Structure 1
């Protein structure tokens, strides 16, 4: 082995590789959140005596392998090194292989400490802190420095062959990426400008907001420059994050065009494959082979002996290199292990991860956790980034349903009846007080009521915390035969309480009563910036791209992007003569005018269709409005084919809707603005020749949105703009973008609402549009 060989690994990653064995077991759950873990570590440190050292940085080297990390705490007086682990419930439920992993970590830290401080021996302690009660359990061992050194060497030797392979892979990968060629003869108009902006963002460690039009090839235009930047900027990993499944497919197709693929294809003389490990992450529900079984060895055959079979599966997976959903499942089935958790493991070892935005931005995001734990220089690409504001709001929101609590209280085991009973009474008190009219007379229990509360209902939150502790204890004592709904309530309560701990001006608390005994309590995030800002700061560079990211200040403010974030707008390659844009400013689609608008909207649809037959999409603000127009349209225009988006469409239903748009066909598809067919679909050529948009896209003027407006006004001074106008126009421009998909496309866009004629609205529309007013459908 070369003495110059250098490979760095974190203590946790080393032990995860060398010390895990036996079954996959998630019964000792739910684990505390990252925030609760940090608070727990701080609590333990605060209880120790003077001179106690917290977060002790340690590192050491064996045969060119550099191992480093931070030990949780060291007491020099007692000569005791501590590894702190937070947990919930009965500690005896912890699987033995979890405990073995914890001991391995503290022993490696002990070896590093003894070597660094020239100690002859040390006490090693595992400190288990029960997060609900604050109770500590200490397990202690005495070790000599020589014993710990032997243990450290054994772990390093176990890992060294893999480390050498990883180092060799990194060299091959970086060398190939230095010579990576663009896969087409030339760049499309605007694509080079986009690529240059992405590369500069990586080179300067900045965030980039780039608005680039549909049709220029944004996916490959962002992947290519960032891949070429990886060796030059020392990037360890890249994440391509999407909002929907089709976005993942586009990214994987682009990576394949750039040369990524199965390594073993080289042996078959099919092609020369770029030495780039690509992993597709999918949701657990879609990857699970046994959805009817629990995730532990006694229930699921793919969890039994998972860690014993993992090394061979991991070896086979990285030998392939290309690990989309199908390939990952093939490896998992071949080695009889869970494909979902195999994917979680391989996220440690793959160069490019393609997944959902939740994998980096939500509270317990795996990719963010791995990057932090391993010190990665991670670059992030976010596709369709105009959706990130709403997606992030959802990540940091939670709600509880009174009906579930009432139902479980009636069927609860004896040990839970008292805490659930207290919770039921707190619910009743909250609903009674929150829903009482200002005059003092209680409203009808059957009448729907919505209230934005002044703050958190502290008494109910306290009761929720007590209930969570009681349910956790019960599940600890009765792990078999657990009521799934009881466990689901526990997860919901814990999620709610975690957000309650961080409640502030970025969120509000509301109560919606739908009838007697049916109220929903929610914590709704309004400004995700406070949660997302640390994620942007942690990444080496983040590029957010979409066709609709204007105005830039809206996304900077609401997402918490750094002040040095760069704004880039790529000029559209399309020209005004490709899209005939007309405004019907004699039509109002406001709620009060909606019934009167049906007839002129139907007349405009039929007039345009008869003037230029082909495929069209017509977008409306709601299903109710859509259905009213569709009914009148079918009555008056039976000869024109029409089909409609419906509530709760399955994936097969959505595919059938889009299948109607065949080349050379004719008809009008009715859809809801902001829904499944308003963005992310591609109908080039004559598969779609026009669109009608009968709404300004504004969110409803209800109590929630008015509260959102007030909060955004208070924080940014742009309440109406941020709560209503910008989100609405983003939906409009996205839907309109379905019409022109390439340089040869021609089409028509009809905007039906008088507000589209306002100067401030037209100033927010794409600059390449040339808008004409059409005040009467016959003019």
Structure 2
């Protein structure tokens, strides 16, 4: 039986012919963006009968493999009765730095297209042209060769041979993956209440190529309820790849554990976890150049062996596993994981690898997206993360510093920085009356100055990487990208602080851009225990009217939780007045209900305001406090303090919306109660008020969008730490008089509504 190998021309030749080192030295961002523009410009010079973006495909047998190869060649040119393949390559490097005869990987791509065209059209020979274009000067270099069918047949045979070991491993794995996915039974003895409904909803959504917004309660087993049906869809041929997207490391671990459990039940699936570059870098300083790093030097000469080795021997490619193989093959662990992302069956990673235009996995082709599902965990976090991804800011200090750095050193940079600094000074004077203001638009002079600064900085950075200039360059480049995206989903505002002035392009409503970045994927599943109210999240995360929505009730009974509301004011102006009452309430609680408690405050400062008098009055009570900037080891130590079977009371003081208020599982009597101080509203500020005003103008409840929904989400997340299984019992205390108001009551889970007022 022959094994089928579907593959694009580019993927095939890059695997066989890529060589060299990783080099993260400065590269002109303009040139990267201009690649498409250059292609289009060259194609516009084609003659009337020439063709562009010509789709070619071929089925080529090799031993027990059948390669199904396809791709689009840039141009098919007809000259003097002959046909010629044209492959366009743009470069930021001066032509003096290029190989005079062109690069083997570029010739390989063009020759593959030529072979496919020759066979299709029963021709005996063909011209092949590489067109190199220098993006800044638009200088062109043409390299042309003629190849016979027999020459190209030998070449293609060698390419097939070079790819075959990898192709066999992948093809055999795919058969086993599909079979085991199809046969896999739910990896627990039975479904929890509501779990089957969620799994069924996810499977239906994937098979119907729709999107789904799910509010599913804490403790239901959301990770398995979404991954299992996605895996089954792979077995049924509906999917080829799954992305499990998270905001936090701890939820990635849960996804890894789910794959491990399914693997022990017979599933054969390659799962990969991507960890941030700075966390996995083996060097003390992250400088991705061959002179500084042996893992970057010759990376592309060794990466195929590393990929083949790990795919042959491992199912779960976690951080530890990747680091082991990266050391074995002397390859950069981060780049290794990115290369694996294009071949793994399931990828566990941060949101930004899909949604952030500056970071996303750009080599995912549209055809691959059509067979890929996105599972977006803790999707409530994507709202502010989306705003962050699509916003950009610049400040006066940046250019003032460059003016000082380059005085007498480089006239162009000095002049540009001076003019930009002067622009900020002029704006500051014009807005003398207010520290915060909005602008209808950015004037053309400012945009032109930024473009000129970027252009002047590029040749300087190509010669030497100056930290301040490099930082300014990337900030300006990001800002200009966001200028291109600017529309009525944005607002421009300025903020003054003493001598500093910052201008921000703020993406108030990320829905349009999240939808755009998620376009092309077969299905998107947005899920969270606190995705409420669902219409709000469907609106702000880029949903459409025909998307599916699902709200699953808690499988846990109201009797498992004793809920109390203490109607004190926690508003900023009243905090000093009510802090003693909060201390007294905590004392009474632990006297009547000793155990392990987490107490959440809306800010670190507020936490200390209550903690300090409490510890003075209760020096014998064991307490731990969340600190700012905790390391992973310190976080783990904090959580490990909550032990099962402890006889003495332990109080953990933490910040609402912080690292301990979501994604934390303290099962059984490791946690006996949660106290939430305040309704979690973000601090009143200019930016939040801009959000409020924006949505109010759209006839939506702007105050809810800006303050109430984000705040109550934090409250629900914090309270959700308590009941994690059918056997858990505990106490929730909500301290704030607003919890008795209808606006906030309506957002409380059903099982919290049988409360007692203290």
Q: Choose from 309, 319, 328 the match for 1:316.
A: 309
Deviations 1:71-102 (A, max 9, x none): 23344468554434445464555689994333
1:702 is aligned to 2:705? no
Q: Give the structure 2 partner of residue 207 of structure 1.
A: 211
Give the CA deviation at 1:534: 3.0
Any conservation in 2 of the 1:532–1:559 contact (CA below 8 Å)? yes
Q: Give the structure 1 partner of residue 256 of structure 2.
A: 252
Q: Choose from 613, 618, 635 the match for 1:654.
A: 635
1:538 is aligned to 2:538? no
3-state SS in 1 of match to 2:487: coil
Q: Give the structure 1 partner of residue 533 of structure 2.
A: 551
Instruction: Tell me: CA distance 1:619–1:29, structure 2 relative to 1, closer, same or farther (3 Å).
Output: same
d(CA) in 2 for partners of 1:415, 1:125: 40
Q: Choose from 436, 442, 445 the match for 1:456.
A: 442
1:390 is aligned to 2:384? yes
Any conservation in 2 of the 1:420–1:467 contact (CA below 8 Å)? no
Deviations 1:127-172 (A, max 9, x none): 4352xx4724333313235344543443233223432332222111
Alignment of 1:418-429 (within 5 A): 418-429=412-423
Q: Give the structure 1 partner of residue 13 of structure 2.
A: 15
Q: Give the structure 2 partner of residue 142 of structure 1.
A: 145
1:299 is aligned to 2:289? no
Any conservation in 2 of the 1:434–1:453 contact (CA below 8 Å)? no
Q: Choose from 278, 291, 296 the match for 1:285.
A: 278
Q: Choose from 739, 743, 747 the match for 2:722.
A: 739
Q: Give the structure 1 partner of residue 621 of structure 2.
A: 640
Deviations 1:351-404 (A, max 9, x none): 111111112221145446324375661112121111111112222222234333
Q: Give the structure 2 partner of residue 474 of structure 1.
A: 460
What do you get for the CA RMSD once the two structures are aligned? 2.7
Deviations 1:287-315 (A, max 9, x none): 21124253232332122222222222122
Q: Give the structure 2 partner of residue 568 of structure 1.
A: 550
1:529 is aligned to 2:531? no
TM-score by length of 2: 0.92
Q: Give the structure 1 partner of residue 340 of structure 2.
A: 346
TM-score by length of 1: 0.89
Any conservation in 1 of the 2:563–2:754 contact (CA below 8 Å)? yes
d(CA) in 2 for partners of 1:375, 1:690: 44
3-state SS in 1 of match to 2:518: helix
Any conservation in 2 of the 1:393–1:524 contact (CA below 8 Å)? yes
Instruction: Tell me: CA distance 1:739–1:410, structure 2 relative to 1, closer, same or farther (3 Å).
Output: same
d(CA) in 2 for partners of 1:184, 1:319: 28
Alignment of 1:680-699 (within 5 A): 680-699=663-682
Give the CA deviation at 1:275: 2.4
1:610 is aligned to 2:604? no
Q: Give the structure 1 partner of residue 130 of structure 2.
A: 125
3-state SS in 2 of match to 1:430: helix
3-state SS in 1 of match to 2:751: coil
Q: Give the structure 2 partner of residue 61 of structure 1.
A: 59
Instruction: Tell me: CA distance 1:560–1:38, structure 2 relative to 1, closer, same or farther (3 Å).
Output: farther
Q: Give the structure 1 partner of residue 27 of structure 2.
A: 29
3-state SS in 2 of match to 1:750: strand
Give the CA deviation at 1:116: 4.0
Any conservation in 1 of the 2:102–2:143 contact (CA below 8 Å)? no
Give the CA deviation at 1:23: 2.3
Q: Choose from 458, 462, 484 the match for 1:501.
A: 484
Instruction: Tell me: CA distance 1:622–1:52, structure 2 relative to 1, closer, same or farther (3 Å).
Output: farther
Give the CA deviation at 1:641: 3.3
d(CA) in 2 for partners of 1:434, 1:117: 68
| Structure 1, gaps ≥5 residues long | 261-271
3-state SS in 2 of match to 1:768: helix
Any conservation in 2 of the 1:435–1:451 contact (CA below 8 Å)? no
Q: Choose from 555, 559, 564 the match for 1:577.
A: 559
Any conservation in 2 of the 1:409–1:417 contact (CA below 8 Å)? no
Q: Give the structure 2 partner of residue 73 of structure 1.
A: 75
Tell me the number of residue pairs that the alignment of Structure 1 and Structure 2 aligns. 747
Any conservation in 1 of the 2:558–2:754 contact (CA below 8 Å)? no
Q: Give the structure 1 partner of residue 373 of structure 2.
A: 379
| Structure 2, gaps ≥5 residues long | none
Instruction: Tell me: CA distance 1:124–1:538, structure 2 relative to 1, closer, same or farther (3 Å).
Output: same
1:595 is aligned to 2:576? yes
Give the CA deviation at 1:283: 0.8
d(CA) in 1 for partners of 2:698, 2:417: 35
